[in-house]
Amino acid sequence: MIYVTVILNYATLSFLSCVKLRSMSNEDTSELEISLLLESIYQKYGYDFRQYSKAHINRRIRNRMTLAKLEDISQIKAKVLNDESFAHSLLQDLSITVTEMFRDEDFYKSLRENVIPILKTYPFIKIWHAGCATGEEAYSMAIILQEEGLYDRTTIYATDFNQHALNRAKEGIFSNSMMREYTSNYQLSGGKEPFSSYYTSSHGHIIMNQSLKKNIVWANHNLVTDSVFAEVHLILCRNVLIYFDNTLQNKVQKLFYESLKTGGILCLGSKEGLRFTEFYEKYTELDKKQRIFKKRY
C-alpha cells in the first residue's frame, strides 16, 4: 500500500512539473481586463462598447481611473458592478459629446449647395441626426431649413444613446460664451440672417427659438443595439463612427443603408468614410471632401 502511494505521489509531482502556464504579456493582460470590464458593462447595464476603438476606450478608462484614484482595471470593474452612480459617470466618459453649431462651416456650405436642392424636390422630408449629442447640429439644420423654406414640411429625428445629452438638447439652452464662434461658423457657412435672430439671451445663456424646436423629435437610440429607426431622406452621423472599430462601422453602415430611401443622402464626419465598408459601391460621392454620399440603389 505504502509502495502504491509513493508511486502515485511521484506521478503527480512529475505531471505538475510538466504543466506550464501560458504566459501573457502585460499588454495582453490589460487588454483582457478591459474586455472583461466592457463585457460586465454590457451584461449589467446593456450598453455595448465591446467594438469601440481600443485607443478611445483605453484613454477614457485610464482617465476615469485617475480621477477615482483606482489603481487597476479589476478595481474599476468591481466598482462599475457595485456602484451605479460610478457606472453612470463611466458611461458619460465613454460617450464624448463635444459638438458645435455649424461645426465645419464648409460642410454646411456644401449641404446648402448640394443637398438642399435635392430635398426641395420632396413633398415631405425626414432627416435623422444619429449621435446628435447636445443638439447643436440639429438646431443648425433647423435654421438652414427655415431659411430655405423647407422646415414646415420636415421632421428631424435627433437621436443619441446619452439621455443626459438629449435632455440638454431638448432644452436648447447653450452658453453665451460660444456664441461668437457659432456666429462666425454660421456666417462662413452661408447663413442669411443675423444669427442672433435665432435665440434670446438670458443670464449668460441663450435659448433657441421655439420655432426651431417644433419639428424636432428627440429620441434615445443606440446605434449598436437598436434597429432601424425610420425611413429617411437624409442621415447625418458625424464624428460618431470614428469611435467604432471597423466591424462595428460596417454594422452601423448597414443600419444607415437600410434606413435611407433610394436617392437618400448620407453625411459623415471629416475623418469618416465609406471606402472600407461593403457599402461603398452602393453610393455616389456628392462631395468627396465633405463626406456627402448619395444612395444609388
Residues that bind ligand SAM (CB under 6 A): 95-99, 103, 131-133, 137, 160-162, 165, 222-224, 238-240, 269
Distance CA 190, CA 192 (A): 6
Shortest Å distance, C-beta 71 to ligand SAM: 28
Q: Pick the closer one to ligand SAM by CB: 30 or 270.
A: 270
- 3-state DSSP call for residue 16? helix
Distance CA 294, CA 297 (A): 9
Give backbone dihedrals phi and psi of 12, rounded to 5 degrees, phi first. -60, -45
Shortest Å distance, C-beta 56 to ligand SAM: 10
Shortest Å distance, C-beta 107 to ligand SAM: 9
- 3-state DSSP call for residue 207? strand
Q: Pick the closer one to ligand SAM by CB: 238 or 291.
A: 238
Shortest Å distance, C-beta 238 to ligand SAM: 4
Residues ≥6 apart with Cβ < 8 Å to 51: 224, 244, 245, 247, 248, 251
Start-to-end Cα distance in the chain: 81
Q: Pick the closer one to ligand SAM by CB: 112 or 251.
A: 251
Q: C-alpha angle with apex 158: 173 to 267, nearest 5 degrees?
A: 115
CA-closest candidate to residue 263, choices 125, 129, 108: 125
Shortest Å distance, C-beta 138 to ligand SAM: 9
Q: Pick the closer one to ligand SAM by CB: 53 or 222.
A: 222
Give backbone dihedrals phi and psi of 138, rounded to 5 degrees, phi first. -70, -40
Shortest Å distance, C-beta 162 to ligand SAM: 4
Q: Pick the closer one to ligand SAM by CB: 34 or 158.
A: 158
Q: Pick the closer one to ligand SAM by CB: 153 or 164.
A: 164
